[in-house]
Structure 1
Amino acid sequence: MSPLSLPGVYAPQADTVLLAEALAREPLCPGARALDLGTGTGALALAAARRGAQVTAVDVSWPAVLTARLNARRARLPVRVLHGDLLDPVAGQTFDLILSNPPYVPAPSARPPRRGAARAWDAGSDGRLVLDRICRRAPALLAPGGRLLLVHSALSDPEATLTQLRTAGLRAAVTEHRYIPFGPVLRARQTWLRATGLLRNAADKEELVIIRAERPH
């Protein structure tokens, strides 16, 4: 059953598929505590719940929260979906697995949109407004042996992600990458991206990466 997507909610695309494939390869014991940050339709949360995880999903968008709750009900899966800003709703909790497909697309405006569909992908001039917050805060929410699976574009500096996660004491690496054709957003921004140096002149595809980070026991 494919998840429904209400208007203004980010529908699963290539980045969601890539992260779902990484999740499918990840060991996940029944009852493991999993967190899906920026859940959107809840597609990744539902994938974890189908494997027996106790799943909490968070999104700052009320339409996304309502969509994820609706999809969990349709799938008859016990996913707890919370509204709030990133990790705020789960402060003080720990998880065995954290998943995130956050906003990561570089945008001409340094400030993220406060409403509308672009809220799901625009992430400041370097694409790192949300990524940096995850790197700073997510490691403290991982239980010993807990893992973080994160997908984002190579345009938004995977090395910065790796450096921050390693500095926080995690073992981190790029475990997969995939090239996909530019979607509508990147096609519309090609001139700006080339002018800023984020995009090579000959590039006509976007590179997505999966970053896996683990807290040592």
Structure 2
Amino acid sequence: MWLLRPPGVYRPQPDTWLLVQALHDAGIPRGARVLDMCTGTGALAIAAAGVGAGHVTALDVSLRATLATRFNARVRGLPVRVERRDALTFRAARQFDVILANPPYVPSPQGDLPRSGPSRAWDAARDGRALLDPLCVNASGMLSSGGMLLIVHSAVCGVAPTVDLLHKVGLKAAVVARRTVPFGPVMNRRIPFLEEQGLITAGQRDEELVVIRGDRRDDQP
């Protein structure tokens, strides 16, 4: 898939395509209302529109990302609404049938989320969960009855915490896709930090990517 990607916008990588495949496997209902959080180039929003979503909203805190997504959707004639919004503070005025999320999740020696620069697309504080946890907590209230969340991240920042948190907010949750990939440049540079924090084992040079699905039960208020 060709996508315009300005400097500083997250390049679609194996986590992107693993989530795209999970979206296809999930078989979303035609006409579904879809929310794509942390959209980057819009790859996931475009994939959702391509499999029959009726309305797609794509969000990103980066101005460059929103402009890229708007262009990438428009040249394909796809109905994607793009908004510059912060995933940490976003609260939807309506509910969605599907929420997609490929948030920053790379553990960083920095304790705070970066406010600017390329690293904003992947850094997520020391445990990698600075965006994962709020997204999981907020997802339940943004899903329609019977709706689903599909979120991708590395097992380095913990699979069980995501599943447990989704259960805690009332969603059924399970890992639906996995793929092991070699460390990229950022992870390779942080090997000493990751080993010191106990996030990887000595000599580990790859990571497992996981897609976790959370389903809102029809009887959930």
Normalised to the residue count of structure 1, the TM-score between the two structures is 0.97
Q: Classify 1:16/1:111 alpha carbon distance in 2 versus 1 (closer, same or farther; 3 Å).
A: same
Q: Return 5+ residue gaps in structure 1 as ranges.
A: none
Q: 1:157 offset after TM fit, Å?
A: 1.0
Match of 2:153 in 1: 152
Amino acid at match of 2:39: T
Aligned length: 217
Match of 1:192 in 2: 193
2:20–2:44 Cα contact (<8 Å) kept: yes
Match of 1:23 in 2: 23
Which residues of 2 match residues 78-93 of structure 1 at below 5 A?
78-86=79-87, 88-93=89-94
| Partner Cα separation in structure 2 for residue 83 and residue 211 of structure 1 | 25
Which residues of 2 match residues 1-217 of structure 1 at below 5 A?
1-53=1-53, 54-86=55-87, 88-217=89-218
Q: 1:90 offset after TM fit, Å?
A: 4.8
Q: 1:30 offset after TM fit, Å?
A: 1.9
| Partner Cα separation in structure 2 for residue 129 and residue 185 of structure 1 | 18
| Partner Cα separation in structure 2 for residue 169 and residue 89 of structure 1 | 20
Q: 1:87 offset after TM fit, Å?
A: 6.3
Q: 1:92 offset after TM fit, Å?
A: 2.6
Q: Classify 1:51/1:18 alpha carbon distance in 2 versus 1 (closer, same or farther; 3 Å).
A: same
2:163–2:173 Cα contact (<8 Å) kept: yes
Normalised to the residue count of structure 2, the TM-score between the two structures is 0.95
Deviations 1:101-142 (A, max 9, x none): 000000001101100110010000000000011011111100
Secondary structure in 2 aligned to 1:194? helix
Q: Classify 1:150/1:212 alpha carbon distance in 2 versus 1 (closer, same or farther; 3 Å).
A: same
2:88–2:134 Cα contact (<8 Å) kept: no
| % identical aligned pairs | 51
Amino acid at match of 1:43: A
Q: Classify 1:138/1:43 alpha carbon distance in 2 versus 1 (closer, same or farther; 3 Å).
A: same
| Partner Cα separation in structure 2 for residue 106 and residue 88 of structure 1 | 21
| Partner Cα separation in structure 2 for residue 172 and residue 26 of structure 1 | 14
**Aligned-residue CA RMSD in angstroms?**
1.1
| Partner Cα separation in structure 2 for residue 39 and residue 152 of structure 1 | 14
1:37–1:87 Cα contact (<8 Å) kept: no
Q: 1:206 offset after TM fit, Å?
A: 1.0
Q: 1:152 offset after TM fit, Å?
A: 0.3
Q: Return 5+ residue gaps in structure 2 as ranges.
A: none
Amino acid at match of 1:198: L
Q: Classify 1:103/1:93 alpha carbon distance in 2 versus 1 (closer, same or farther; 3 Å).
A: same
Q: Classify 1:88/1:80 alpha carbon distance in 2 versus 1 (closer, same or farther; 3 Å).
A: farther
Amino acid at match of 1:24: H
1:87–1:137 Cα contact (<8 Å) kept: no
